[in-house]
Amino acid sequence: MFGSGPDTGHGNSGVSGPLLIPMRFVWPYGGRRVFLSGSFTRWLEHIPMSPMEGCPTVFQVICSLSPGYHQFKFFVDGEWRHDEHQPFVNDNYGIVNTIFIAREPNLVAPSFSTETPGRSNMDVDDAFVSSEPVTTVSDADLEVSRNRVSAFLSRHTAYELLAESGKVIALDVNIAVKQAFHILYEQGIPVAPLWDSCKGQFVGVLSALDFILILRELGNHGSNLTEEELETHTISAWKEGKVYLGRQIHGNARSYPRCLVQAGPYDSLKDVALKILKSKVATVPIMHSTSRDGSFQQLLHLATLSEILKCICRHFKHSASSLPILQQPICSIPLGTWVPNIGEPNGRPLAMLRPNATLGAALSLLIQAEVSSIPIVDENDSLLDIYSRSDITALAKDKAYAQIHLDEMSVHQALQLGQDANFFNGQRCQMCLGSDTLHKVMERLANPGVRRLVIVEAGTKRVEGIVSLSDVFRFLLGV
């Protein structure tokens, strides 16, 4: 496809130069065989790229380049491709990506910066290619983007989230906790609305957090969770006990049972999203009642932030330029929780655990840190797995809850019990890079079953942060 061009740089072909700077090239869009070619190889050599461990759709290669202007392109499964999210030009070789490497070594890092919080900029070869410095989003661009997202969400209603066909699972408050535990696991759902037949209305939800609290409470009293105890405790009894437990932990200020957070089919998507954020819940039931007093409720749907985000992505898919913040790398905007830099004051610590930590420690951390998941890392803080609240339902498999002690089972052992559950596209740990754009992160979070992405360093998979659906909506809506 390409003929020979001017010698604007040096690649891996063995040509030496006075100054060669290692640069990492990345193709993050998948493929079976991916190659890199460019002006630094005179468009003659195809340099093979390797998939990154843990991210099979991300291909990378390090090339040593001379300072100056370079052009490059990717050869993916027999087809020439360029990365639309990196600078590109249209010239005699077609559409090609471009980079410029400054001559002075101390200018290299800023010129190609994708530096993320908590990461040293000393290792230039760990940088991802970019021809421009990462700039902070302007207040004007941020305001324009937020206004347009807010306007879109205000125009559309929860009714648009309803599928043409489907099912919503609800539980009666009088069934045993044991039965509810198994239903959540067998149906692969982390939460279910609760129906009180005496009151004739929905009164709350049962979530994975309830089972975490049950396990911890029984563990604090030195007992296993036996089948008999689960069989004799109804959901209603547990909810009453939960109020008492909350009074002990938080005092009288939080001793009253929470009202069911719900929305109607004609509430705006913005209102639904704000209810989820303010109530710190995973889902909001969409209810419809034909009576004025709100009785005879009909459960239509369980709305989630993932569904609403998918609506945003679909609407702005062909007009991404109308939201200036979409092309900003996530490391340049106040989004998510990051590992603080050394000496950084007041940084919120990112909760992480080793695989040999006890399940009891993991459950306590989930509650105390008020997070929904914890990255599991090795001694170098490289990502191994992730433990989420919903993983607790895996203990229903083979009635494992009747055979464990929280302080004896490790997080690794607990994850092994649920290794067949909570997968998306065959991968439990959904990852992204600090250099990924907000648009790319939003598209991945809009996939069903993905509630968070762990931000990792390329190559090492060292955890740099975590970004959740809630983080994205708080940023987009400015709350």
Residue 239 lies in a domain: yes
Encode burial over 264-277: b for 16+ CB neighbours within 10 A, e otherwise. Answer: bbebbbbbbbbbbb
Residue 328 lies in a domain: yes
How far, in Å, CA of 212 to CA of 235, rounded?
Answer: 14
Give yes or no: residues 165 and 279 share one domain: yes
Provide DSSP, 323-351: SGGGGSBGGGSS-SEEPPPTT-TTPPPPP
Residue 9 lies in a domain: no
Provide DSSP, 36-97: EEEGGGTTT--EE-EEETTEEEEEEEEEEE-SEEEEEEEEETTEEE--TTS-EEEETTEEEE
CB 324 within 8 A of CB 144: yes
Domain of residue 391: give its range: 321-419+426-477
| Domain final residue, candidates 65, 85, 101 | 101
Rg (CA), the chain: 26
Residue 8 lies in a domain: no
CB 41 within 8 A of CB 130: no
Given its phi and psi angles, is residue 166 left (phi above 0), alpha (psi -120 to 50 degrees) or beta? left
Query: HSE of 259 in the Cβ direction (CA atoms, 13 Å)?
Result: 4
How far, in Å, CA of 379 to CA of 377, rounded?
Answer: 7
Give yes or no: residues 303 and 325 share one domain: no
CB 351 within 8 A of CB 370: no
Give yes or no: residues 281 and 235 share one domain: yes
Give yes or no: residues 170 and 299 share one domain: yes
CATH at 166: 3.10.580.10
Give yes or no: residues 331 and 430 share one domain: yes
Residue 215 lies in a domain: yes
Residue 168 lies in a domain: yes
Residue whose C-alpha is closest to residue 383's, from 391, 392, 374? 374
Give yes or no: residues 329 and 473 share one domain: yes
How far, in Å, CA of 458 to CA of 39, rounded?
Answer: 25
How far, in Å, CA of 241 to CA of 252, rounded?
Answer: 14
Give yes or no: residues 263 and 295 share one domain: yes
| pLDDT value of residue 247 | 53
How far, in Å, CA of 411 to CA of 8, rounded?
Answer: 52
The torsion angles phi and psi of 48, rounded to 5 degrees, stand at -65, 140
Give residue 293's identity as a one-letter amino acid code.
D
Residues in Cβ contact with 460 at an 8 Å cutoff, skipping those fewer than 6 apart:
380, 382
The pLDDT tens digits of the residues spanning 167-226 come to: 888 999 999 888 888 888 888 888 899 998 888 888 888 888 888 887 777 666 554 445
Residue 129 lies in a domain: no
Percent helix / strand / coil, the chain, rounded to 5:
35, 25, 40
Pairing of strands 79-81, 34-38: unpaired
Q: Could you tell me the CA-to-CA distances from 57 to 32, 140, 383 in Å, in that order?
A: 9, 35, 17
User: Residue 7's CB: how many other CB atoms inside 10 A?
Assistant: 12
Give yes or no: residues 352 and 294 share one domain: no
Say how far residue 245 (Cα) sits from the centre of its chain: 31
CATH at 79: 2.60.40.10
- Partner residues linked to 61 by β-bridges: 25
Print pLDDT tens along the chain (479 aa).
433 333 333 344 333 445 777 788 888 888 999 999 998 888 889 999 988 766 778 888 888 888 888 899 999 999 999 988 788 888 777 888 888 776 543 333 322 333 333 333 223 233 344 434 445 667 888 899 999 999 999 999 999 998 877 788 899 999 988 888 888 888 888 889 999 888 888 888 888 888 888 777 766 655 444 556 666 778 888 777 665 555 555 554 444 456 788 999 999 999 999 999 998 888 999 998 877 766 677 899 999 999 999 999 999 988 777 888 988 899 889 999 888 765 455 456 688 999 999 988 898 888 888 888 999 999 888 999 999 888 887 777 666 766 777 788 899 888 887 665 444 434 567 899 988 889 999 999 998 888 899 999 887 888 999 999 999 999 999 98
Give yes or no: residues 396 and 439 share one domain: yes
Give residue 227's identity as a one-letter amino acid code.
E
Give yes or no: residues 279 and 181 share one domain: yes
| pLDDT value of residue 5 | 37
| pLDDT value of residue 232 | 72
Residue 211 lies in a domain: yes
CB 158 within 8 A of CB 267: yes
Cα dihedral angle (189, 192, 197, 200), rounded to 10 degrees?
-140
Give residue 248's identity as a one-letter amino acid code.
Q
How far, in Å, CA of 298 to CA of 287, rounded?
Answer: 6
Give yes or no: residues 272 and 338 share one domain: no
Domains of the chain: total: 3
DSSP letter, residue 381? -
User: Residue 194's CB: how many other CB atoms inside 10 A?
Assistant: 22
Give yes or no: residues 210 and 296 share one domain: yes
The two three-digit tokens of residue 386, written as one number: 């992730």
| pLDDT value of residue 176 | 86
